[in-house]
């Protein structure tokens, strides 16, 4: 066919045939594939050059244009090992086989340099040991770091992230047991100053995630986990992680839209940010912002769920249910509940337990089972707000089953891993929530009314042993939990009125899921804490605990709110609510000590007799 004939033929048919369209599409996809291969090869070359010279990271990695694009050595899924039964909740191409760290990765021909943080110095050998310890025992709980990256490169990328890894691993570094205490203040200060760093925000977010998942023991410092969780969320949102497919629009300079791989990585890091932030809210007794309010529209939220790993989706949905349940409980009212409110609360809790059942049908890995158990435990713990229908609603047997199942799961985890020193904060909180629930039931008059108390008691005692495995410092929450659980168990006054009758209501009623834990700890403080007892001298009457130091209870709440204006908590006749309101003084010391996590409410010296066997 001549050129003129070919031109005439084209002119006759302006619409390409189906086969021609398929051919054009095939050419386009092939060219796109080749372009992606070239881009991947370019990143591989830059990664290899950075590994040969770890102190010289490619310039592109530290610029605003590519500060969120961190290359990683890709590994096929077949090479991954989840032998410990833990979910690998981050893209698997970022992870080396679990449980083993090749020596050539950490050592090789380029030895790790010693580093100093103010007065603390760690040698190159210690750094290698700490990084191997982190990737062997901790990373599987929060697998957001690349095991192929050397410590020298981590320090070049972000000194804060480098020291955050050291700080986490120091929890169980037996060769230098003083390292965790020495680093706590300095690394925490680095966390707050990280927002001023010129390092890529990707690394700042990773460092904050580590410190919030394994917080330092507080000792005499203020608890900063809750402020840090808010900072984590806002740093991520400021850099567009909450809209991963459009995050290039948040860059200081014009950059191309992220690739599909980068969108997945941003999506999953954002999912971790939401999880850690919402957990911090729950542990602090606050109602967390849900994922819907953090996304701009439902389509973006669905895109996020479509891109991230299924087990991350399950964890997000669990915390979303807890958040919605918390808001519904607050709307129903918790301060002073009438009979109708208690009945309504029971309906609400059954509704949200049903949502947990729906999520459980989609669970695919073992790690999701713990989050489902914790979600169910959190929802059922709202039953303790009830007073009139606590027994008649039939919730206590279900509470025992859920609490025992959660403790059994943690026991199984300890058996598989040999210890619990690497347990993240969500496991320690779940263990505390379950044990306090069992304690309250076992100390009640209902314990002898057909409940499965034998299993509940065995699980409660198992909690104390698990807390011993979990504690890495004599001043951490796990160590002090041992003391509180021990002494409340042997107490004859806990959850009792002065006449010996049961005190069934929660006196702490403003902290959602945390209220029952705080309530139990305040019972302990009232009896065992010397600091609290000394302040009560001269103000406590023979009739019961001082109203100046402790919320007097639901009965007083009803009197103040007008729902029961004729009786006071001790059974006497009440003329009006005014004087009772005046008796409850919220002083500065009350506000200072009324906190949770990192030992704010456990403000007492550790009992050496109970912590001698701590690892």
Contact 277, 288 (CB under 8 A): yes
pLDDT of the residue at 379 = 98
| Highest mean pLDDT of the ranges 384-393, 555-564, 597-606 | 384-393
Q: How far is CA 339 from CA 220, 281, 381, 446, 564, in A?
A: 43, 29, 18, 20, 12
Residue 571: is its pLDDT beyond 70?
Answer: no
Task: Report the 3 state secondary structure along 386-453.
Answer: CCCCCCCCCHHHHHHHHHHHHHHHHHHHHHHHCCCCCCCHHHHHHHHHHHHHHHHHHCCHHHHCCCCH
Angle at 214 between CA 176 and CA 244, to 5 degrees: 135
Model confidence over 223-270: pLDDT tens digits?
899 999 999 999 999 998 888 777 778 877 777 777 888 888 999 999
- Reported as a pLDDT band with limits 50, 70 and 90, residue 161 is very high
Terminal Cα distance for the chain, rounded: 87
pLDDT of the residue at 26 = 54
Higher pLDDT, 301 or 144: 144
Read off the pLDDT of each residue in 295-324 and give the average, rounded to a whole number. 83
List all residues 6 or more positions away from 323 whose beta carbon is below 8 Å from its beta carbon: 278, 281, 287, 288, 289, 290
| Highest mean pLDDT of the ranges 304-318, 355-369, 419-433 | 419-433
Domain ranges of the chain: 222-327, 341-513
Read off the pLDDT of each residue in 45-70 and give the average, rounded to a whole number. 39
pLDDT of the residue at 32 = 54
pLDDT of the residue at 514 = 96
**Average confidence score pLDDT of the chain:** 76
List all residues 6 or more positions away from 229 whose beta carbon is below 8 Å from its beta carbon: 212, 276, 277, 280, 281
pLDDT of the residue at 232 = 97
> Which candidate, 544, 577, 546, 541, places its Cα nearest to that of 560?
577
Read off the pLDDT of each residue in 487-492 and give the average, rounded to a whole number. 96
**pLDDT over 70, % of the chain:** 67
Q: How far apart are CA 374 and CA 349, in angstroms?
A: 14
Q: How far apart are CA 606 and CA 468, in angstroms?
A: 13
pLDDT of the residue at 30 = 53
Query: For the chain, how big is the Rg over CA atoms in Å?
Result: 28
Model confidence over 12-50: pLDDT tens digits?
444 456 565 555 555 555 555 555 555 555 555 555 554
Residue 160: is its pLDDT beyond 50?
Answer: yes
């Amino acid at each position: 066919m001549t050129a003129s004939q070919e031109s005439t033929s084209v002119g006759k048919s302006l619409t390409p045939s189906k086969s021609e369209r398929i051919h054009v599409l095939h050419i386009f996809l092939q060219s796109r594939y080749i372009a992606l291969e070239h881009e991947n090869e370019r990143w591989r070359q830059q990664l290899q050059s950075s590994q040969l010279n770890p102190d010289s990271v490619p310039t592109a990695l530290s610029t605003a244009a590519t500060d969120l694009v961190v290359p990683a050595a890709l590994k096929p899924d077949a090479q991954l090992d989840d032998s410990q039964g833990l979910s690998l909740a981050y893209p698997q191409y970022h992870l080396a086989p679990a449980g083993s760290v090749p020596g050539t990765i950490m050592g090789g021909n380029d030895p790790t340099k010693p580093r100093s943080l103010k007065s603390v110095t760690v040698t190159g050998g210690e750094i290698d040991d700490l990084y191997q310890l982190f990737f062997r025992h901790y990373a599987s709980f929060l697998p957001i770091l690349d095991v192929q990256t050397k410590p020298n490169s981590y320090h070049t990328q972000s000194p804060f992230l480098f020291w955050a890894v050291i700080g986490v691993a120091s929890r169980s570094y037996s060769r230098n047991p003083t390292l965790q205490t020495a680093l706590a203040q300095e690394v925490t200060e680095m966390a707050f100053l990280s927002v001023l760093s010129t390092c890529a925000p990707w690394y700042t977010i990773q460092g904050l995630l580590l410190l919030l998942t394994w917080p330092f023991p507080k000792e005499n410092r203020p608890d900063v986990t809750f402020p840090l969780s808010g900072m984590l969320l806002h740093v991520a949102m400021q850099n567009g992680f909450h809209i991963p497919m459009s995050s290039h629009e948040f860059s200081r300079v014009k950059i191309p839209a992220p690739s599909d791989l980068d969108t997945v990585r941003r999506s999953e890091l954002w999912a971790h940010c939401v999880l850690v932030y919402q957990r911090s809210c729950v542990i602090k007794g606050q109602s967390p912002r849900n994922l819907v309010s953090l996304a701009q529209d439902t389509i973006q939220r669905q895109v996020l769920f479509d891109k991230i790993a299924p087990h991350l989706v399950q964890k997000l949905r669990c915390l979303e249910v807890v958040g919605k349940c918390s808001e519904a409980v607050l709307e129903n009212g918790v301060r002073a509940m009438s009979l109708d409110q208690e009945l309504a609360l029971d309906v609400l809790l059954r509704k949200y337990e049903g949502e947990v059942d729906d999520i459980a049908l989609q669970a695919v890995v073992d790690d999701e089972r713990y989050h489902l158990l914790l979600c169910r435990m959190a929802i059922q713990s709202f039953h303790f707000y009830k007073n009139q229908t606590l027994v008649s609603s039939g919730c206590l047997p279900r509470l025992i089953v859920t609490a025992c199942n959660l403790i059994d799961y943690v026991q199984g985890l300890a058996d598989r891993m040999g210890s619990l020193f690497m347990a993240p904060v969500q496991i320690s909180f779940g263990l505390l929530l379950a044990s306090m629930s069992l304690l309250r039931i076992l100390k009640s008059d209902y314990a002898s009314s057909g409940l499965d108390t034998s299993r509940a008691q065995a699980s409660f005692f198992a909690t104390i042993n698990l807390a011993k495995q979990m504690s890495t410092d004599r001043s951490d929450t796990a160590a002090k939990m041992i003391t509180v659980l021990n002494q409340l168990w042997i107490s004859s006054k806990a959850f009792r009125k002065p006449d010996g009758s049961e005190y069934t209501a929660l006196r702490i009623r403003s902290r959602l899921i945390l209220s029952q834990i705080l309530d139990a700890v305040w019972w302990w403080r009232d009896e065992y804490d010397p600091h609290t007892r000394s302040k009560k001298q001269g103000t406590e009457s023979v009739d019961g605990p001082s109203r100046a130091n402790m919320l007097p209870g639901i009965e007083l709440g009803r009197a103040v709110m007008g729902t029961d204006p004729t009786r006071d908590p001790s059974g006497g006749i009440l003329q009006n609510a005014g004087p009772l309101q005046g008796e409850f003084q919220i002083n500065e010391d009350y506000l200072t000590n009324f906190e949770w996590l990192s030992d704010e409410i456990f403000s007492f010296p550790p009992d050496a007799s109970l912590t001698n066997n701590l690892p």
